[in-house]
């Protein structure tokens, strides 16, 4: 789930635990252009404090004003619509003809938000069924590919697990990549069996492991919410891990290096038990072409490409380093400077 929506749940749980009245607002349907997608959430506290977003600001202002003027009095969920008329669309800043439908759910201990968060921490994919007539909540395991559903009786939302990122190699670039990924709410693991590289490497909130990378890839059971980035430039560490990752359901597998080094890597991987289709999933040279020079810029470039792939941006709209222009006779690597 998106980091902002996870933060909404965490903040809601804290408000409930402290005995404060609050509501959870979820986008359940849109017509025309919409600033926020279906499933986006916002929580509002009895004092008008909000976390999250359902419209980018305009509808939030109306929700805050209503809470400050009328308080939170709902005892059961309610479905409301904004932007039905042209005047309302203009008032709430929706695009021309835009309409958004929201569920507004009063929260309490029976909302089971804390239990939901516990299951998300265990990397579970959870289905939350909200009875729209009683407010009762049921949590169960969700099927892969399940989506938000709303009927006259209930609303079913899908939550978690967090996106995961495995970084192979402990160094300056991996430190910067891990820090930015954490801010994007990835669960980050850095793997490096080389003691001299692990010594002194530390980022709060990141798990540092010393097993061989291919063993870690297998143990992680990579799914569609997982990404693998190889940064060591050492075939003994990168190649077997990349081979296992390319066989998995990971949405992104990438390796740093020059065009020449990546070409040699692909030749080596074809000698392993990989099909051409699996090898075609490998991103390398890694990252979007943004003219990156410094380790920080390279980290941003890598995460930009990961984000584009994660969000389903069409391939023809993505310009990776592999397709970046080079000067005639320039055989050097665009991202080789990432070998830090």
Q: Which range has the worst mean pLDDT, 3-7, 74-78, 286-290?
A: 3-7
Query: Comparing 29 with 83, which gets the higher pLDDT?
Result: 29
The reply to whether 45 and 154 lie within a common domain is yes
Q: Quote the CA–CA distance of 232 and 286 in Å, as a whole number.
A: 13
The reply to whether 87 and 195 lie within a common domain is no
Identify whether 107 is part of a domain.
yes
**What is the predicted pLDDT for the residue at 338?**
35
Q: Quote the CA–CA distance of 196 and 210 in Å, as a whole number.
A: 11
Residue 205 CB neighbour total at 10 angstroms: 11
Quickly state the pLDDT bin for 256 (edges 50, 70, 90): very high
The reply to whether 87 and 9 lie within a common domain is yes
Query: What's the start-to-end Cα distance of the chain, in Å?
Result: 32
Query: Comparing 96 with 330, which gets the higher pLDDT?
Result: 96
Q: Which range has the worst mean pLDDT, 74-88, 128-142, 208-222, 284-298?
A: 74-88
Residue 91 has pLDDT above 70, yes or no: no
- Closest Cα partner for 322 from 243, 245, 263, 246? 263
Kindly state the tokens that stand for 223: 């799914």
Q: Quote the CA–CA distance of 204 and 189 in Å, as a whole number.
A: 11
The reply to whether 65 and 115 lie within a common domain is yes
Domain boundary among 116, 142, 159: 159
Tally of structural domains, the chain? 2
Quickly state the pLDDT bin for 56 (edges 50, 70, 90): low
The reply to whether 152 and 175 lie within a common domain is no
Burial grade of 69 (CB within 10 A; 0-12, 13-18, 19 or more):
exposed
Arithmetic mean of pLDDT over the chain: 86
Q: Is 337 helix (H, G, I), strand (E, B) or coil?
A: helix
Residue 84 CB neighbour total at 10 angstroms: 14
The reply to whether 89 and 198 lie within a common domain is no
Domain boundary among 108, 137, 159: 159
The reply to whether 65 and 184 lie within a common domain is no
Residues whose CB is less than 8 angstroms from the CB of residue 236 and which lie 6 or more positions away in sequence, other chains included: none
pLDDT digits (tens, 9 = 90+) for 272-325: 878 889 999 999 889 998 888 899 999 999 999 999 999 888 878 887 776 666
Q: Which range has the worst mean pLDDT, 82-91, 101-110, 144-153?
A: 82-91
Identify whether 49 is part of a domain.
yes
**What is the predicted pLDDT for the residue at 326?**
58
Question: Are 32 and 95 within 8 A, CB to CB?
Answer: yes
Residue 111 has pLDDT above 50, yes or no: yes
Q: Which range has the worst mean pLDDT, 50-64, 78-92, 269-283, 306-320?
A: 78-92
Identify whether 336 is part of a domain.
no
The reply to whether 80 and 141 lie within a common domain is yes
The reply to whether 12 and 72 lie within a common domain is yes
Mean of pLDDT values over 154-170: 90
Task: Print the domain residue range for 40.
Answer: 4-159
Residue 87 has pLDDT above 70, yes or no: no
Q: What percent of the chain has pLDDT over 90?
A: 56
Residue 139 has pLDDT above 70, yes or no: yes
Mean of pLDDT values over 141-146: 80
Residue 74 has pLDDT above 90, yes or no: yes
Angle, CA 304 vertex, CA 167 and CA 208 arms, to 5°: 15
The reply to whether 62 and 29 lie within a common domain is yes
**What is the predicted pLDDT for the residue at 333?**
39
**What is the predicted pLDDT for the residue at 178?**
95
- CATH number for the domain spanning 257: value is 3.40.50.720
Mean of pLDDT values over 220-237: 91
């Amino acid at each position: 789930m998106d980091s902002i929506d996870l933060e909404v749940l965490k903040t809601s749980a804290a408000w409930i635990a402290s005995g404060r009245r609050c509501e959870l607002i979820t986008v359940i349907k849109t017509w025309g252009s919409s600033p926020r997608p279906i499933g986006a959430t916002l929580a509002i506290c009895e004092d008008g404090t909000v976390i999250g977003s359902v419209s980018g600001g305009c509808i939030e202002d109306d929700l805050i004003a209503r809470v400050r003027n009328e308080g939170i009095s709902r005892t059961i969920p309610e479905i409301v619509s904004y932007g039905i008329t042209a005047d309302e669309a203009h008032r709430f800043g929706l695009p021309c003809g835009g309409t958004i439908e929201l569920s507004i759910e009063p929260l309490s201990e029976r909302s089971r938000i804390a239990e939901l968060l516990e299951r998300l921490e265990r990397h579970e994919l959870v289905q939350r069924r909200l009875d729209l007539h009683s407010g009762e909540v049921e949590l169960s395991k969700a099927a892969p590919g399940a989506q938000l559903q709303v009927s006259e009786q209930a609303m079913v939302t899908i939550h978690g697990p967090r996106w995961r990122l495995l970084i192979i190699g402990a160094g300056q670039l991996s430190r910067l990549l891990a820090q930015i990924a954490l801010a994007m709410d990835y669960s980050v693991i850095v793997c490096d069996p080389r003691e001299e590289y692990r010594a002194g490497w530390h980022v709060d909130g990141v798990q540092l492991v010393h097993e061989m990378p291919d063993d870690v890839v297998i143990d992680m059971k990579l799914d569609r919410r997982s990404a693998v980035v190889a940064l060591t430039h050492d075939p003994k560490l990168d190649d077997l891990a990349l081979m296992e990752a390319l066989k998995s359901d990971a949405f992104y597998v990438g390796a740093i290096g020059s065009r020449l080094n990546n070409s040699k890597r692909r030749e080596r991987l074809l000698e392993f038990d990989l099909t051409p289709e699996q090898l075609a999933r490998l991103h390398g040279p890694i990252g979007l072409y943004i003219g990156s020079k410094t380790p920080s810029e390279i980290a941003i470039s890598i995460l930009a490409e990961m984000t584009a792939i994660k969000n389903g941006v069409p391939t023809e709209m993505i310009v990776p380093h592999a397709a970046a222009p080079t000067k005639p006779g320039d055989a050097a690597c665009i991202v080789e400077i990432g070998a830090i």
